[in-house]
Amino acid sequence: MPSTQPVTVNLGPQHPSTHGVFRMRVTFDGEEIVDVEPVFGYLHRGSEKLAEERTYTQVLTLTDRMDYVSSMLNNQSYILAVEKLANVEPSPRGVWLRMIASELQRIASHLVATGFLIQDLGALGTPLIYSMRQREYILDLFEMLCGARITNSYLRPGGVYMDAPEEFWPALDKVLLDVPHAFDELEELLSANEIIKSRTIGVSILSPESMVNASITGPMLRAGGVDWDLRHRNPYDFYDQINFHRPLHNSSDNFARFWVRIQEARESVKIIRQCIDKIEPGPVRPSFDEVPRLLRPPPGDVYSAIEGSKGELGFYLVSDGGIAPYRCHVRASSLINLTLLREMLIGELFNDLFVSFGSIDLNMGEVDR
């Protein structure tokens, strides 16, 4: 019989499956993947270094662009770190508003993740269009809040930039009524689909122990049955006043990761409704006498993390008493969640490669900083 040799192929550095640029050196034995070398580092934005040359409020615009499908959550993590560093007491109404904005962003991010995963499976756009259509309604709400749709820069130390206009609340109610039906439709179309089940169930399984050891968090970890959510384990803002369920799955495969994100979006709707019930009139942030435009936190350092749409998103800030951070470092969940990509793919087939990669749900903007 003729002998065969493994073949190594460069996939990338650009591919529709990634939000950004990424390259994999994949070794195949026929269609089976026998080795993977992830290679990333093409954007070269230097966000952490740029933060040292901007005031604490100006740095906010850099966080928008790290994970630009989840910018409200980036804002939230950074602002919480600034408030902790500068001993800022936030306005209650501002906190409720930013929780509403952050949970809307979580829904929008999970819609993108779900739509593109099914696109990678070859669904030729229909589920993606359904997902993006629903996301557009959320972006309309963001436009009402701050005038921007994607790179929002809505949060501020002590609260948010401005109060929600009157027309925001009925529009929000309509979106909260529509979102569950949209996910019902997606789940009905996809969860029972034989092709999707055969391409995702039992594919790219990760053990809970390996994910914990690799510091993987978010929907990937909860898809392996580990109940770890910072909103529950280490509450920030007013999450200690909110009741919500943490969806868990035990399969830890591509299907489980898809399923967990859909269920988490449903929980976000419940969280937003509770925020609406609890929010009261008042200022959305302290006055400039209490929190000046140019913050000068006392010398020191702080680390603050939230439960982002992709996992733990944290900011480490160092202050030397000036108007800009002396040092800034981001604990980006997209980067950490990539660390087991090789283990996910070895032994799988070429057709599974981009589906498994998409099931991670990452954004290269926060991988290469």
Pick the more confident residue, 367 or 226: 226
**Of the candidates 249, 255, 241, 197, the residue with the CA atom closest to the CA atom of residue 222:** 249
Whether the pLDDT of residue 71 is over 80: the answer is yes
Cα distances (Å, whole numbers) of residue 78 to 75, 92, 289: 5, 18, 22
Cα Rg of the chain (Å, integer): 21
What is the total count of domains within the chain?
Answer: 1
Q: Is residue 116 part of a domain?
A: yes
Q: Is residue 298 part of a domain?
A: yes
Q: Is residue 25 part of a domain?
A: yes
Contact 100, 72 (CB under 8 A): no
Q: Is residue 260 part of a domain?
A: yes
Whether the pLDDT of residue 124 is over 80: the answer is no
Percent of the chain with pLDDT over 90: 75
Q: Is residue 2 part of a domain?
A: no
**Of the candidates 225, 279, 230, the residue with the CA atom closest to the CA atom of residue 92:** 279
Nearest-angstrom CA–CA distance, 315 and 369: 13
- Bond into 13 cis (ω within 30): yes
Q: Is residue 235 part of a domain?
A: yes
Nearest-angstrom CA–CA distance, 263 and 187: 10
**Of the candidates 66, 75, 83, 136, the residue with the CA atom closest to the CA atom of residue 101:** 75
User: What is the reported pLDDT for 137?
Assistant: 96
Cβ of 168: how many Cβ atoms within 10 Å?
18
Q: What is the phi/psi pair of residue 21, to 5°?
A: -115, 140
Whether the pLDDT of residue 1 is over 70: the answer is no
Q: What is the mean pLDDT of residues 64-80?
A: 94
Cβ of 154: how many Cβ atoms within 10 Å?
25
Q: Is residue 266 part of a domain?
A: yes
Q: What is the mean pLDDT of residues 44-72?
A: 92
Q: What pairing do the DSSP bridges indicate for beta strands 23-29 and 7-11?
A: antiparallel
Element (H, E) at 63: helix 60-64
Nearest-angstrom CA–CA distance, 66 and 163: 25
What one-letter code names the amino acid at 115?
G
User: What is the reported pLDDT for 15?
Assistant: 54
Beta pairing partners, 112: none
DSSP string, 217-228: -THHHHTTT---
Q: Is residue 238 part of a domain?
A: yes
Which pTM value belongs to this model? Answer: 0.94
252 token code pair: 């830890």
**What pLDDT digit, counting tens, does each position of 229-278 carry?**
999 999 999 999 999 999 999 999 999 999 999 999 999 999 999 999 99
Q: What is the mean pLDDT of residues 164-183?
A: 94
User: What is the reported pLDDT for 14?
Assistant: 60
CATH code (residue 194):
1.10.645.10
Beta pairing partners, 217: none
Q: What mean pLDDT value characterizes the chain? A: 92
Residue 352 belongs to domain spanning: 7-367
User: What is the reported pLDDT for 342?
Assistant: 94
User: What is the reported pLDDT for 195?
Assistant: 84
**Of the candidates 271, 266, 335, 307, the residue with the CA atom closest to the CA atom of residue 111:** 266
